[in-house]
Amino acid sequence: MYMNTTRRVVITGMGVISPLGMTLDSLWEGLTSGKSGVAPLSAINTQYLPTKFAAEAREFTGSIDDFGPLDAERKKAIRKGLKVMCRETQMGVAAAQRAVTDAKLDAADGVDPERIGVLFGSDYMLTLPDDFAAGIMKCIDEEGNFDFTRWASEGMQQLTPLWLLKYLPNMPASHLAIYNDLRGPNNSLTLREASANAAAGEAFRTILRGSADIMVAGATGSRIHPMKMVHSLTQEEVAADGVEPTKASRPFDLNREGMVLGEGAGAVVLEELQSAKRRGAKIYGEVLGTASSSVADLSGIAHRETALRNVMAASLRDADRKPADVGHLHAHGLSTRSCDEEESRAIHDVFGDGAAKLPIAAAKSYFGNLGAGGGLIEMIASVLSLEHQRLFPVLNYDTPDPKCKLAVCRDGDSPGASFLNVNVTPQGQASAILVSAFSG
């Protein structure tokens, strides 16, 4: 595939919906003040769950005010569309709309909408049990049993006609393009936690190859959902009760007991450099390289360590950079026994002797696993670190794990001039993106 190597891609807008708030300032303040976004779970009945805390995006109510400053026409369109958006889609659209506003794209003159596209990542989206309640009640027989033979003729009639639209993973990108008249390339990726870097990376390549000048790249996700929580609790290492919620997420700490479940969304506006300069846009940083990898053996067993090693090394090759050029690494930092150890080994394989000195950031220590949305919020957190020339400390890192010999960030560490952002899924899908401070 042809790539125009003379084109450069910069970040000109950012937006978040997170357990630490819905603005860049609130996210940064939370990270630098040691504020945890983990608290007792309120959205779901926890009576029969082994964990009773999570990182909810509590400020996000789904009201039109959550989507940031909007003109009257756009506000009317989004408010009308809310009824066909599930919570994940709402968060994704809100984060992206905030990024569009931050980049001043909604007020830009002379920007061709045919040259602006959208690339969005997400988790798999599941319907809520409540959506089926009315239909199920219609199929209850006289003895109080559910009669499945009546579902097609009586039960399904109770579903709203546009029910399915709420849960299609391409909806965030579709809504955003419609509301903002973005007519360029449009795509959606569903790679769980690897979705964020993969979406930003593909948006980066879309601009490099000349198919667009501006791309809105985002990701949205949630582990706070009745069925998804069951999936996580039965298949993954999740921190259970018996610990203070704010202390539960502790990446690379010897006493970590599993990940914390959360929700959130993030988005960035990526723009070809000359386009950004013509608009007089604020430039947060520059994307230098990206990579994705998926590794599993013939029996389907994932090899996360190999996938992580692949994407870190490939991102550096893509950017024509050496390991020593990386200022800090924003790790996946899941806070599980297995994943943290595998990630640590992959970091040592790629960075060699330099791994012992490379600052390691892990925003999941503040808000746990947000699913697909986490990687974008983590990327934005590191961009803010470059801007403020200060790294936030990894929360709850009290006792270093001898199996994870890393330079885990303490308060006030320098972020350097660039960072590598990394994420991986339990299925062995990994993605990474290399970003630097803008040098002109």
| Distance set, CA 148 to CA 132, 151, 160 (Å) | 13, 5, 19
- On whether both 91 and 204 belong to a single domain, the answer is yes
What integer pLDDT is reported at residue 174 of this predicted model?
A: 97
- On whether both 194 and 334 belong to a single domain, the answer is yes
pLDDT over threshold 70, residue 3 = no
Domain tally, the chain:
2
The Cα–Cα gap between 40 and 243 comes to: 11
Torsions phi, psi of 407, nearest 5?
-85, 70
| Of 220, 219, 229, residue with least CA distance to 53 | 229
pLDDT digits (tens, 9 = 90+) for 334-343: 999 999 999 9
What integer pLDDT is reported at residue 217 of this predicted model?
A: 98
CA max distance for the chain = 74
CATH code of the domain containing 412: 3.40.47.10
- On whether both 275 and 371 belong to a single domain, the answer is yes
* Residue 2 resides in a domain: no
pLDDT digits (tens, 9 = 90+) for 106-152: 766 778 999 999 999 999 898 988 889 999 999 999 999 999 999 99
pLDDT over threshold 90, residue 424 = yes
C-beta of residue 384 within 8 angstroms of C-beta of residue 268: no
- On whether both 19 and 116 belong to a single domain, the answer is yes
In single-letter form, the type of residue at position 105 comes to: L
How many CA within 13 A on the CB side of residue 128? 14
* Residue 281 resides in a domain: yes
Query: Considering the chain, what percentage of its residues have pLDDT values greater than 90?
Result: 87
Residue where one domain finishes, among candidates 111, 141, 164:
164
Task: Name the least confident of 107-121, 200-214, 278-292.
Answer: 107-121
The phi-psi region of residue 226 (left if phi > 0; otherwise alpha if psi is between -120 and 50; otherwise beta) is alpha
Q: What is the pTM of this model?
A: 0.96
C-beta of residue 26 within 8 angstroms of C-beta of residue 232: no
Residues found in the chain: 440
- On whether both 151 and 226 belong to a single domain, the answer is no
C-beta of residue 365 within 8 angstroms of C-beta of residue 336: no
The Cα–Cα gap between 425 and 356 comes to: 25
C-beta of residue 108 within 8 angstroms of C-beta of residue 274: no
Torsions phi, psi of 404, nearest 5?
-130, 70
* Residue 356 resides in a domain: yes
* Residue 4 resides in a domain: no
- On whether both 278 and 135 belong to a single domain, the answer is no
In single-letter form, the type of residue at position 311 comes to: V
Query: Considering the chain, what percentage of its residues have pLDDT values greater than 70?
Result: 98
The Cα–Cα gap between 80 and 101 comes to: 20
Give the helix/strand (H/E) hosting 384: helix 374-388
- CB within 8 A of 333, min separation 6: which ones? 251, 252, 340, 343, 360, 361, 362, 363, 364, 365, 394
Residues paired with 429 in a beta bridge: 294
Q: 307: which DSSP letter?
A: H
Domain that holds residue 196: 9-125+168-436
| Of 105, 98, 271, 263, residue with least CA distance to 200 | 271
pLDDT over threshold 70, residue 414 = yes
The Cα–Cα gap between 268 and 380 comes to: 8
What integer pLDDT is reported at residue 270 of this predicted model?
A: 98
What integer pLDDT is reported at residue 77 of this predicted model?
A: 96
* Residue 1 resides in a domain: no
What integer pLDDT is reported at residue 284 of this predicted model?
A: 98
The Cα–Cα gap between 105 and 116 comes to: 10
* Burial label, 44 (beta-carbon count in 10 A; 0-12, 13-18, 19+): middle
* Residue 104 resides in a domain: yes
Residue where one domain finishes, among candidates 143, 164, 185:
164
How many CA within 13 A on the CB side of residue 273? 14
pLDDT digits (tens, 9 = 90+) for 368-399: 999 999 999 999 999 999 999 999 999 999 99
- On whether both 119 and 137 belong to a single domain, the answer is no
- On whether both 157 and 226 belong to a single domain, the answer is no
pLDDT over threshold 70, residue 435 = yes
- On whether both 156 and 178 belong to a single domain, the answer is no
What integer pLDDT is reported at residue 161 of this predicted model?
A: 83
pLDDT digits (tens, 9 = 90+) for 319-330: 999 999 999 999
pLDDT digits (tens, 9 = 90+) for 263-278: 999 999 999 999 999 9
* Residue 29 resides in a domain: yes
Rounded mean pLDDT, 187-205: 98
Rounded mean pLDDT, 275-286: 96
pLDDT over threshold 50, residue 1 = no
* Residue 228 resides in a domain: yes
- On whether both 359 and 221 belong to a single domain, the answer is yes
Tell me the average pLDDT of the chain: 95
The Cα–Cα gap between 122 and 58 comes to: 20
- On whether both 260 and 236 belong to a single domain, the answer is yes
- On whether both 160 and 257 belong to a single domain, the answer is no
What integer pLDDT is reported at residue 162 of this predicted model?
A: 85
Residue where one domain finishes, among candidates 111, 139, 164:
164
| Of 97, 177, 172, 89, residue with least CA distance to 126 | 89
Rounded mean pLDDT, 306-318: 98
Residues paired with 296 in a beta bridge: 302
